[in-house]
Amino acid sequence: MATHESAAHASHAHGAPQGFIRKWIFSLDHKVIGLQYYFLALTAVFVGMFLSLLMRIHLIWPTATLPFFGEIKPETYLSLLTMHGTIMVFFVLTTAPQGGFGNYFLPIQIGAPDMAFPVLNMLSFWTTFLGFIVLLAAFVVTGGAPLHGWTGYAPLSALQSAGPGEGLGADLWITSIAIFCIGALMGALNFITTTLDMRAKGMTMMRMPLTVWAWFVTAILGLLAFGVLLSAGILLLMDRNLGTSFFVPLVTVNGQLTGHKGGSPLLWQHLFWFFGHPEVYIAILPAMGMCSQLLSVFSRKPIFGYKAMVYAIMAIGFLGFMVWGHHMFMSGMSPYTAFAFSIMTMGIGVPSAIKTFNWLGTLMRGRIRFTSPMLFAIGFVSLFVTGGISGPFLAQPVLDIYLHETYFVIAHFHLIMGVASIFGIFAATYYWFPKMFGRMMNEPLAKLHFWLTFVGAYAIFMPMHYYGMSAGLRRYSQSTEVAFILKLLPIQRFITIAAFITIASQFIFVINLFWSMFKGAKASDNPWEATTLEWITATPPPHDNFGGRTPVVNNGPYEYSVPGAPRDFVMQSDPEIKPKH
C-alpha cells in the first residue's frame, strides 16, 4: 500500500494544525468538526433520554418522589416533554446524521480535501453548541423550562404570564432555536457549495453515493426551511418582549387582558410547520442514504435502481414542502384545504414506497453479510415500514381528528422519525467507526446492542398504537384520574419497563464505542470491502483526506459482484469497467 504511506507522509507538508486547541477545539478540519457534532449529539441524546425516563416513571407512579428531582408536578411534566422534543429533534436528529456524518464523509466521498468554507464550518458547529447551552440554561432559570411543547404553539408560547416556564425559560428556548437555525444555515451553505463545486474529476452527480445525495438534498431542505423558522422565532420574540400582536389575539390570562389583540395563532402554526415538516425529512433523509449505502455494501450487490433512488430523494424533499398542513387538521382549517394537504401527504407514500421496494430489491438474492451495521440498516427498513404504515391513517383528516391527540401519533413519529433515524446513526457509527478511529468495534457487543434496541424499540412503541386507538391521550401528565384511561394503565407499565431495558442497553453501545477507540482490533483501510472513496485513503484519513493528491473517479458507487472483475467489488477510483450484460 505504497500510495497510502506516501499519502500519510505528504499530509505533514501542508501545515496540519499541531496544537491541541487548533487541532481539536477550534479546528477547521471537517473531520474533527464532524466528530464534534457527533459527540454533541451523543451528549444531547443522553439528556433527552433521561428526560423521557422521568416522564415514563411519572406516568405509572404519578406520586413517586424521585431522588434529586422531588415530585413531578403537571407543569414539570410539560416542561420535560418540551425539552425532550426540542433536544431530540434539533440537537440529535438534525445534528448527528447531517452535521456529524455528513461533515465527516461528504467531502471524502466526493474526493474533496475539505469543505468549501472551513471557517464557516467551524462557526457552524460552535453556533450549534451555543444553541445547546442556551437551551439547557432554560432548566436553571426562574420558572424553569417552557411548557409549550417542541412546536411552541402561540398564544401559550407568546405570553410571559401564561405559566411557569413561559418567562425567561421560553425566551431562552426561542433564542436557542434561532441560534440553531443560523448554525444549520451555515452548515447547509457549506454542504451545497462543496457538493456542487468540489467533486473530484470523474465524480459526476450520477456517480455520487446515495449518502451524498441524501446529505445534499437535506442541506437544500435546511436552506429553505430554517430561514422560515428563524422568521417565526423573531416574530414570537417581538410578541413576547416588544408588545406586538403577530400571533396573539385578544386574550385574557387570569381574567386580565394582555394588551395584545388581532394576532393569529394559526399564523404561527403555518410558519412553524412550513419548517416543521421538512424538518422530519432533514432527520430521516440522511438515514435513508446510509441505509441504501449499507444494504448495497453488505448484500454485495449494486443498489437496486440507483436513479430511481436519486429521484425519490428529490421527490420526497419536494413534496416535504407541500404537506405542512397535515399537522393542522385539528386547527379548524377549511375541509377543502385539508383535502389538498391530505392528497399531497398520501403522495409522499409513492417515493417512500419506491425506496422501500428498492431496498428489498437490493437485499433479494444478495450474498448478505450480517455485520452489525447491516443489522441496523435492515432494522431501519423495518422501522421505516412500520412507522410509515400509520402515516396514511393520519393523513386522512377524519381519522386524524380522532387520533391526533392520542398516543397513536406519538407511536407514529417516534418510529419513523425518531427510532428509524437513530438506527441510521447507529448503522453509520458501526460502519464508519473503523475509518474514523482506525479500530474495529466489538462485534458480539454490537449485535447484542442491536437485538436489545430493536426488540426494545418495538416493545415501547407498538403498544402505544393500541393505547392511542383506545383514546389514550397524549400530553396528559397523569392517566390515573380518568376511569377509562385507568384501564389502560397496564400498557403504560409495560412501556415504561421496556423503556428502562432499552435505555439501559444503550450503555452497551457507549462502552463499546469508547472501549473500541483505544482497545479495538486495528482496522485495515477497507475492512468492509466497499467501493466509495473514503476507503481508498488511509485509516484514519490524513489532514487533507488524500495526502496532497486528488482521486480520479472512473466508476459508479455500487459496483459489486461485477462479472469479469478480479474481485467482487470495483472501487470508484479503479480503472473504468465496461459492464457486460
Partner 1 sequence: MASLTTTATVIEPEISRDDHGTAPPIRDGGDYGRPGLPDYGTRLRRARLGLLVALIPVMMLFVSFTSAYVVRQGLPSLDPRTNNLIRDWIPVALPRLLLLNTFVLLVSSVSMELARRQIRARAMMETNSTGTDVSIRDPIRTPWLAMTFVLGLAFLFGQWTAWKQLAANGFYVSTTPSSSFVYLLTGAHAAHLLGGVVALLIASIAALLHRSLKTRSIVVDVTAWYWHFMALLWIYIFGLMKFVS
Residues 29-68 that bind partner 1 (CB under 8 A): 29-30
Q: Which of 252, 115, 110, 279 lies closest to 184 in space, CA to CA?
A: 279
Concatenating the DSSP letter of every residue in 167-182 gives THHHHHHHHHHHHHHH
Is the Cβ of residue 238 or residue 253 nearer to partner 1 in the bound state?
238
Looking at residues 254 to 273 of the shown chain, list those that interact with partner 1 (rule: CB under 8 A). Answer: 257, 261-264, 267, 270-271
Q: Find the shortest distance in angstroms from Cβ 206 to partner 1.
A: 18
Among 392, 548, 561, 577, binds partner 1 (CB under 8 A): 548
Is the Cβ of residue 400 or residue 559 nearer to partner 1 in the bound state?
559
Q: Which of 32, 15, 533 lies closest to 293 in space, CA to CA?
A: 533
Specify the stretch interacting with partner 1 by CB under 8 A; choose among 11-19, 47-55, 469-477, 493-501. 11-19
The answer to whether 116 contacts partner 1 (rule: CB under 8 A) is yes
Is the Cβ of residue 263 or residue 557 nearer to partner 1 in the bound state?
263
Which three cell numbers, joined as nine digits, stand for 60? 405509572
Q: Which of 251, 112, 27, 57 lies closest to 546 in space, CA to CA?
A: 112
The answer to whether 28 contacts partner 1 (rule: CB under 8 A) is yes
The answer to whether the bond into 540 is cis (omega within 30° of 0) is yes
The answer to whether 475 contacts partner 1 (rule: CB under 8 A) is no
The answer to whether 17 contacts partner 1 (rule: CB under 8 A) is yes
The answer to whether 22 contacts partner 1 (rule: CB under 8 A) is yes
Is the Cβ of residue 113 or residue 146 nearer to partner 1 in the bound state?
113
Q: Using CA of residue 182, residue 186, residue 192, residue 195, what is the dihedral sign?
A: negative
Looking at residues 299 to 328 of the shown chain, list those that interact with partner 1 (rule: CB under 8 A). Answer: none
The answer to whether 198 contacts partner 1 (rule: CB under 8 A) is yes
The answer to whether 205 contacts partner 1 (rule: CB under 8 A) is no
Among 62, 149, 164, 227, binds partner 1 (CB under 8 A): 227
Q: Find the shortest distance in angstroms from Cβ 319 to partner 1.
A: 18
Is the Cβ of residue 67 or residue 575 nearer to partner 1 in the bound state?
575
Is the Cβ of residue 204 or residue 524 nearer to partner 1 in the bound state?
524
Q: Which of 471, 261, 290 lies closest to 380 in space, CA to CA?
A: 290
The answer to whether 550 contacts partner 1 (rule: CB under 8 A) is yes
CA–CA dist 507, 365 (Å, integer): 35
Among 245, 258, 496, 506, binds partner 1 (CB under 8 A): 245
Specify the stretch interacting with partner 1 by CB under 8 A; choose among 376-384, 390-398, 493-501, 547-555. 547-555
Among 113, 143, 351, 373, binds partner 1 (CB under 8 A): 113
Residue 473, phi then psi, degrees to nearest 5: -85, 140
Is the Cβ of residue 45 or residue 271 nearer to partner 1 in the bound state?
271
The answer to whether 333 contacts partner 1 (rule: CB under 8 A) is no
CA–CA dist 490, 472 (Å, integer): 12
Neighbours of 497 (CB within 10 A): 14
The answer to whether 546 contacts partner 1 (rule: CB under 8 A) is yes
The answer to whether 448 touches 441, Cβ cutoff 8 Å, is no
Which three cell numbers, joined as nine digits, stand for 87? 433536544
Total of residues contacting partner 1 (CB under 8 A): 84
Per residue in 505-518, is it b (16+ CB within 10 Å) or e — as a string? bbebbeebbeebee
Is the Cβ of residue 29 or residue 279 nearer to partner 1 in the bound state?
29
The answer to whether 8 contacts partner 1 (rule: CB under 8 A) is no
Looking at residues 424 to 463 of the shown chain, list those that interact with partner 1 (rule: CB under 8 A). Answer: 440
Looking at residues 392 to 421 of the shown chain, list those that interact with partner 1 (rule: CB under 8 A). Answer: none
Q: Which of 250, 280, 253, 248 lies closest to 267 in space, CA to CA?
A: 248
CA–CA dist 421, 148 (Å, integer): 25
The answer to whether 538 contacts partner 1 (rule: CB under 8 A) is no
The answer to whether 501 touches 56, Cβ cutoff 8 Å, is no
Neighbours of 241 (CB within 10 A): 11
The answer to whether 509 touches 449, Cβ cutoff 8 Å, is yes
Among 133, 140, 234, 511, binds partner 1 (CB under 8 A): 234
Is the Cβ of residue 434 or residue 456 nearer to partner 1 in the bound state?
434
* Residues comprising the chain, all counted: 581
Residues contacting 545, CB < 8 A, separation 6+: 31, 107, 108, 112, 113, 114, 537
Q: Find the shortest distance in angstroms from Cβ 234 to partner 1.
A: 7
The answer to whether 529 contacts partner 1 (rule: CB under 8 A) is yes
Specify the stretch interacting with partner 1 by CB under 8 A; choose among 78-86, 116-124, 150-158, 395-403. 116-124
Residues contacting 235, CB < 8 A, separation 6+: 244, 246, 247, 268, 271
Looking at residues 552 to 571 of the shown chain, list those that interact with partner 1 (rule: CB under 8 A). Answer: 552, 554, 566-567, 571
